[in-house]
A and B are shown apart, each in its own frame.
Chain A
Amino acid sequence: MILVVLISVLFLGGVLAWLSEGFDAKFPRVIALAAVVIDLLIMLSLLAVPESAESAWIVSLNAQWMPNFGISFHLAADGLSVLLLLLTGFLGVIAIGSAWNEITERVGFFYFSLLWTLAGVVGVFTALDLFLFFFFWEVMLIPMYFIIAVWGHENKNYAAMKFFIFTQVTGMLMLVSILLLAYFHYVQFGWFSFDYLDLLKVNMSSRIEMWVMLGFFIAFTTKLPSFPFHSWLPDAHSQAPTAGSVILAGVLLKTGAYGLIRFAIPLFPHASMQFAPIAMTLAVISILYCAKVAFAQTDIKRLIAYTSVSHMGFVLLGIYAWNAQALQGAVMTMLAHGLSAAALFMLAGGLQHRIHTRNMQDMGGFWAKVPRMSFVALFFSIAALGMPGLGNFVGEFLALLGAFKANITLTVLAAFGLIFASVYSLWVIQKVFHGEYKNTDFDDAQLSDLSRREMFYFAAMMLGLIWMGMYPQSFLDLSEATLSNLLSVTQGVVSSVVQQ
């Protein structure tokens, strides 16, 4: 029941925020913040639920929805879900904070879209019925489309359309796969079911399993995104308003990784293990190629977007290595990247809000002018490049460590990504914040340092990254049960494939 509350608070909060605009333009953001904070508190309360011996699910709810097809309203959360829910709630607050003064037009509809996106994400992280999962998967798209299309920048129509078509078309492939899976369940057991726990038992011939798995894989790697399905991301990020980027980079991308961990591999262990070398190769290409492309960007938001793809490559690498360390590393990277990428996009958005350009060629020497902002940028750049002591390092290190056991060549290649990351991160710092300050190419009348409110948000994210880096065990413990559970489910299959 608590999960239904979690989702409906966001849905209802969104509607209320929209309606309240009629009374006062300040109401929507307050209502939105209240809704997300309530959600965050509920999510925290999930941590206090005592562990039960017989099931890994902390909370679950199963109600009939469309009994003709065995579709149920099945929500459940385990350690992995809770971790990602906390990330969603936390970044939800941050996103509202970053929009607080930036969004001045159509505020009601903005917060409505923001909260509905979050509601979709919460649904994705908790749905255990595949039809319901697909439902939420699509629900988070439309409000995100609105966010980019209405409050975006100069080329918003193109970016929003591209985002929508990429995710929707690949989503449809996933729908076909889901239906195939349900149909095979029908053939095997005589009744339709879309329930995750039922579908885990379906057996398929290996050729069909591969095709069905690919439907899921393409949908999830488009969202992740990974090479070759990543081209929507730089456009979406460079055009989206800051809050949109925060949600997109921090949370939406993680739904793809979550889908791979929860669905793509456990449902199709055989095909996934056969496919793993290809997936890991794609991951390495993402890491290296997108790091290289990032280095060539002049648009600061596009640059951060490409680095996102590069870092998510480590997640993909870790997931397909499919062992305890690698998976823990993937999850840690998801969390840490959620914070660091969101922070970097907020900084870029803040800069654009102040000087109305994203072109790095025009920038330089900002340290003298805005020292606090420069320090924050340095901190998150260093976090992103994987400095020991911060969360990203733990994640990427564990992912590489685990991947080393699975495939040495690819891991060695992927490790070069860390070097590239240092190059482009420090290059940005040097280009934008060091050197001589000149304001010939832009209007610096509004170039002010971070306000106290902004500092508060950044400080919270910094604390989060330091905590992850210094005491990762507190996060690893939460996801440990889930991951070892998933590993044990696929144990037999994995060893048989590896032996072949």
Chain B
Amino acid sequence: MIMTLDDLNPLMPLLIVTATAIIAMLMIGIRRSYLLTGAIAITGLLIAAIVAATMMSYTNQQLTPLLIIDQYSLFFTLLICAAAMFIAILSFPYFFNLDDHKEEYYLLLVVATIGAIVMVSSNHFVSALLGLETLSMSLYGMVAYPLHSKNAAKYPLEAAVKYLVLSGVASAFIVFGMALVYAQTGSLSFSSLLDVSGSANGLSDSYSIIALLLITAGMAFKLSLAPFHLWTPDVYEGSPLPATGYLATIGKAAMFVLMLRFIITSEALSFPSIVMVFSLLAAASILAGNLLALSQDNLKRILAYSSIAHMGYLLLAVIASYSTEGSISIEAVTFYLLAYVIMSLGAFAVASVISSSEKEFDAVSDYRGLFWRNPWLAASFMTMLLSLAGIPLTIGFIGKFYLFLAGVEAGLWALLAVLVIGSGIGLYYYLRIVYQMLMPEDESLRYRIAGIESLSSYGVIAVLVFLLLLLGIYPAPVMSIVASVSAYL
């Protein structure tokens, strides 16, 4: 196939982000300036997001066997670029006082974003693996970033090594599974395993199931679905806050989109045993995530466990996708991912606004009386937490509404019961944080902001709260967008 320059047009967002990385790298070579590097990264991501948004209405193209640029991938490219931009803005004050080279952090962040964009646009094993590894490799760096700093607040090395080793193992599982699929189908593109199993030259069904199980296990590691979740709380706790935010939002969302595309194209859910495995993963994640969060006193660990539970909720809609007519389950996944990114990002944003690389306020008791000291910040945090708990007026409620609808249509009663129980348990630990903020101030715990205060971080929180409430009260326009992009998958 001969490629012309026109064929590169659909790749614009990816190319812009790549160019941003290169420009930022050259810039660091010429002159070390934290502000300038940050500004380049933020501008580049912003432009990529805008370009992705404008392209969404007309682009739908398979570009080389590796990448598919359709409305669905562009929707998530937009989401990822916007989220990465917000994280870049939040990182600026956080790392401002770091006693080490700070500029390369943005480089890692932008490169990770390239990986995430490739992941959401891939329907081929090679591009999927390349994207996945690009994202993971950059994340190891981001997690370990304050390593040489004498005052590093946390345990970045422990977190990074843990993440590196376990994520490497997970990748190995995925690669092995891919090899088995390749032996089965003779193609590295995502394609149906169902047709092959039935035909004469295919291997047996059980062979496909083993391949799918290996891939599922690897992906479950990356998504931290129970029982593959053990690394999550430690890595979340040990990483610097913006990196945790990145890992929890973009890292999860990109991986989920990739998994969704793979499962749908390969028709993995037509094997009853795979449906069983997914149902168990979902139920275990919802219960383990919510139950283990109950006894935590560290905000990052609570958010880690809550993210495990949320991945379980999402998996319910994925399972529903096989037995529902139309695209309602895909819409549910898409909308909930959007909601999840907005609300978790918001929660991490609040925590990182008052923290810095030297001092992180991540114990639940640090938030005591925040509502009376800084009502706007605390109110924003409360909206985020209530949204994570799925309370109306927020996007989290509409997301949960979608999930329930998908579950009801597919008749997944057992999983719905688990979802209700899990959400009920979840209320407890979200409300515990809310209650801490409502308690009278503790005079001995003088509130201060670690590091520097930056108006732009408050701006990010304001935008996220606005989106969260707008989409919670009047979601109709976004619902139609989600419906139209979901039809492409």
Contacts and interface: CB of A to CB of B under 8 A. Distances in A.
A68 B479 contact: yes
Interface residues of B, number: 29
A68 B480 contact: yes
Interface stretch (B36-44, B177-185, B401-409): B401-409
A149 B420 contact: no
B427 A134 contact: no
Contact of B392 (A134, A146, A169, A179): A134
A135 B390 CA distance: 11
A436 to B, nearest CB: 39
Contact of A173 (B393, B409, B420, B427): B420
A179 B435 contact: no
Contacts of B408: 176, 179-180, 183
A164 B431 contact: yes
Interface string A176-189: 10011011000000
A169 B389 CA distance: 11
Interface in B410-466: 416, 420-421, 423-424, 427-428, 431-432, 434-435, 438
Contacts of A180: 408
Contacts of A131: 401
Interface in A23-70: 64-69
A160 B432 CA distance: 11
Given A135-B392, A168-B424, A145 B431 contact: yes
A180 B404 CA distance: 9
B475 interface: yes
A195 interface: no
Contacts of A5: none
A142 interface: yes
B392 A139 contact: yes
B393 A172 contact: no
Contact of A175 (B404, B428, B432, B475): B404
B3 interface: no
B328 to A, nearest CB: 9
Is chain B's binding surface mostly helix, strand, loop or mixed?
helix
**Interface range on chain A (Cβ under 8 Å from partner):** 20 to 34
A67 B480 CA distance: 9
A168 B483 CA distance: 29
Contacts of A135: 392-393
B372 interface: yes
Contact of A169 (B420, B435, B480): B420
Interface string A317-341: 0000000000000000000000000
A179 B428 contact: no
B30 interface: no
B118 interface: no
Contacts of A175: 401, 404
Contacts of B423: 168-169, 172
Contacts of B420: 169, 172-173, 176
A165 interface: yes
B435 A149 contact: yes
Which has the most chain A C-beta neighbours within 10 Å: B427, B438, B474? B438
A138 B480 contact: no
Contacts of B479: 66, 68-69
Instruction: Output the residue of A138, A139, A168 with the most chain B CB within 10 A.
Output: A168
Given A139-B392, A139-B393, A65 B435 contact: no
Given A172-B423, A175-B401, A176-B416, A165 B409 contact: no
A106 interface: yes
A142 B483 contact: no
B483 A106 contact: no
Nearest to A131: B401
Contacts of A66: 475-476, 479
Interface in B382-408: 386, 391-393, 397, 401, 404-405, 408
A67 B431 contact: no
B438 A146 contact: yes
Interface in A120-140: 131, 134-135, 138-139
| 6 smallest beta-carbon distances between A and B, as pairs | A169-B424, A138-B392, A179-B408, A135-B392, A172-B420, A66-B476
26 contacts: A65-B474, A66-B475, A66-B479, A67-B476, A68-B480, A68-B483, A69-B479, A131-B401, A138-B392, A139-B393, A142-B391, A145-B431, A146-B438, A149-B434, A149-B435, A161-B431, A165-B427, A169-B423, A169-B427, A173-B420, A176-B404, A176-B420, A179-B404, A179-B405, A179-B408, A182-B405
Interface of A: 64-69, 106, 131, 134-135, 138-139, 141-142, 145-146, 149-150, 157, 160-161, 164-165, 168-169, 172-173, 175-176, 179-180, 182-183
